[in-house]
Amino acid sequence: MDALGRRLWVGINGLELDADTARHLGEIRPGGIVLFRRNIDSLQQCRRLTASLRDLLGSSLHVAVDQEGGLVERFRGLLPSFPGNMALASLGVRDPAMAAHLAREQGRLLGLLLRDLGINVNFAPALDLAVTGANPSTGLRSFGCHAALAGALGAAFIEGERRAGILPCGKHFPGLGAAEVDSHLDLPLVKAGPASDALAPFRAAIAAGVPLMMTSHVVYEGLDPDAPATFSRAIVHDLLREELGFKGVTVSDDLEMGAMQRRFSFADVVRRAAQQHDVLCICASAELQRDALKHLRAGVECDAAAAAAHKASLARIETLPPWSSPAGEDLASITKEAESVAEAIAGRAISVVRDDRRLLPLRGAVLVILPVRDAGSPVEDPLRGESDAQELIRALGDGARALELPARPDAAAIAAAVQRAEDAEALVLVVTAATFRIEQQELLRAVLARRPETVVVALRSPFDLAAAASCAAATLVASHGFRPLQLRALASVLRGQTKSYGRLAIALGSSS
């Protein structure tokens, strides 16, 4: 069966196409390459890498990346840093039209910058509703919990990407929002099927012409109790293709994730995922990529139905437009415009959720207590690797000082924080993962018991504010992100230099 490799989109190691990698890719002939942070050192290096990949595999090769904004940015520090989807949603609660305009502009400008690098597929936007704070992987990546707003913003983002000549990919169908296990680690189980609201952003994306749709490694018992979406005909064919009318290319999430590897043999993963998906993503292991090709070949050679499905998948993949070089864009102007849009989103996303005691604007000397480091965490944490506490302190100006704590403060660290809090003229207590870290909840309780009139800032997930909501004297603020431009915007609101504009796009009562 010809062109089997076209259905594999694979990751590679390194910053350049070395001889071993070229030999491997020449053997499997994948239809796509997925770039990760490990493949990116500079913009010029990335251009060379994508050009060398197409020299080897042809202009029909798709080069993909996850550049969502916010938590997921492969070009952090190299391209303008956009806030995540939740930031757009928070300003969209107040002004949906403005939020949709900014989402469209973010998609367009980001698309132009990616095309300049030889990238023509962006695995964005995430369309999962933020329905519970217990979800470990959605959070700021979501356009919030309001289905109509999330759908409008997702559609606008997609329209912007398409206008720039980028192929957007909606994810993670039929929605990861209700999951309470990270599928990178293990297989989540959701007792019911996705609510109709959870499907609304995917309907909107399809109406906006999204050409690719990525599914999720989640079991939805209400739809298919026997299989995750990755393997489920009921979800991929019956729901996505037949009921919602999606005619484009279906893409699996990475088949090396823990949700797959911990529960199934790899041969079973490939065989069953290939029955429902046009493209299979295998993003790390060259050995597994070779194995996947063998399992695909065995399936189509031994099973007439698999052979027919393979032919249909190839036909859909061929509808994706091939790579074409960008036409001499003014990158300096695009970059400047992108930075302006990112600042507009960040500034308008800061949300003062409650300030009944009028603690804002902050006056006098400010003590900021914040957990900043968690070197043992495998995931990206606020203020780890791209910023530090001093970014916020500098933005707050003269008289501001920081008490930095571990991300999991022990009893001694909490006691020291309480002691320092008692004497502070103005107090800001930052949390970065209070929903999941009992230590940060204990820090909140201890400080608020001694100093209830405290400004509590949720730097990462606004769901973290639920842990402080019972303290009526506390002021609650959500920044919807922790990048430097968001810390500067936060400081401007805390000091009263600008007014808070954003509103929560989630329900705090859904934090557990």
Q: Which two tokens stand for residue 218?
A: 């989640």
Residues facing residue 169 across a β-bridge: 212
**Is the residue at 359 inside a domain?**
yes
Name residue, tokens 């018991």: 449
Say whether both 375 and 243 belong to one domain. no
Q: 3-state class of 380 per DSSP? A: coil
Q: Specify whether 101 is located in the same domain as 239.
A: yes
If asked whether residues 160 and 285 sit together in one domain, one would say yes
Same domain, 25 and 118: yes
CA-wise closest residue to 463 among 88, 140, 75, 15 = 140
* Per-residue pLDDT at 26: 96
Work out the average pLDDT over 300-328.
Answer: 90
Distance CA 250, CA 236 (A): 8
- For residue 54, report the phi and psi dihedrals to the nearest 5 degrees: -75, -30
Query: What mean pLDDT comes out for the span 254-261?
Result: 91
Average pLDDT of the residues of the chain: 92
Active site residue 146: no
- What band does 177 get if pLDDT is binned at 50, 70 and 90? confident
498 occurs within a structural domain: yes
pLDDT at position 261 = 86
- What is the per-residue pLDDT for 194? 67
What burial letters (b/e) apply to 476-490, b meaning 16+ CB within 10 Å? Answer: bbbbbbbbbbbbbbb
Based on the domain organization, do 9 and 77 belong to the same domain?
yes
30/14 Cα distance (integer angstroms):
17
Q: Average pLDDT for residues 441-459, to the nearest whole number?
A: 96
Q: Annotated catalytic, 62? A: no
Is position 283 within any domain? Answer: yes
391 domain-assigned:
yes
Given 24, 101, 184, 237, which residue is catalytic? 184
Average pLDDT, stretch 147-152?
98
Q: Are residues 503 and 382 in the same domain?
A: yes
Report the pLDDT averaged over residues 271-287: 96
Q: Is the pLDDT of residue 382 over 60?
A: no
* Residues 362 and 295 occupy one common structural domain: no
CATH code for the domain in which residue 252 is found: 3.20.20.300
pTM above 0.85, yes or no: yes
Residues 6+ apart with CB under 8 A from 193: 174, 220, 221, 222, 223
- CA-nearest of 420, 422, 418, 440 to 430 is 440
| Most confidently predicted of 135-144, 304-313, 325-334, 335-344 | 335-344
pLDDT attached to residue 373: 59
What are 337's two structure tokens? 């415009």
Does 90 reside within a domain? yes
Residue 150 inside a domain? The answer is yes
Higher pLDDT, 387 or 147: 147
CA gap 283, 114 in Å, rounded: 20
Q: Contact 63/50 with Cβ under 8 angstroms?
A: yes
The gap from C-alpha 119 to its chain's centroid, in whole angstroms, comes to: 18
pLDDT at 193 > cutoff 80 = no
Beta bridge partners of 366: 400, 426
pLDDT category of residue 403 using cuts at 50, 70 and 90 = very high
Residue 474 tokens read as: 């506390």
State whether 208 and 158 are in the same domain: yes
Residue 330: burial class (beta carbons within 10 Å; 0-12, 13-18, 19+): exposed
Candidate from 372-381, 409-418, 488-497 with smallest mean pLDDT:
372-381
- The H or E element containing residue 431 is strand 426-431
Identity of the residue numbered 130 = A
Domain that holds residue 290: 4-317
* Nearest in space to 219 (alpha carbons), one of 240, 248, 188, 197: 188
Instruction: Kindly state whether residues 459 and 503 are assigned to the same domain.
Output: yes
In whole angstroms, give the CA distance from residue 94 to residue 369.
Answer: 30
Residues 274 and 388 in one domain: no
CA 198 and chain centroid, separation: 17
Alpha-carbon gap, residue 328 to 321, rounded angstroms: 20
Query: 368 with 243, same domain?
Result: no
Domain with residue 408: its CATH number is: 3.40.50.1700
- Provide the domain count of the chain: 2
Q: Give domain status of residue 335, yes or no.
A: no
Characterize the bridge pairing of strands 121-122 and 67-69. unpaired
239 shares a domain with 180: yes
455-458 and 8-11 beta bridge pairing: unpaired
Asked which of 317, 342, 373 is the last residue of a domain, the reply is: 317
Distance set, CA 222 to CA 183, 390, 392, 512 (Å)? 19, 48, 45, 21
Q: Which of 317, 332, 365 is the last residue of a domain?
A: 317
pLDDT at 108 over 60: yes
Q: Cα dihedral sign for 357, 362, 366, 368?
A: positive
Q: From the candidates 128, 182, 224, 253, which is the catalytic residue? A: 253
Question: Which pLDDT belongs to residue 268?
Answer: 94
The candidate with the shortest Cα–Cα distance to 287, out of 29, 57, 16, 24, is 24
Domain-embedded: residue 331: no
Domain's final residue, options 317, 338, 371: 317
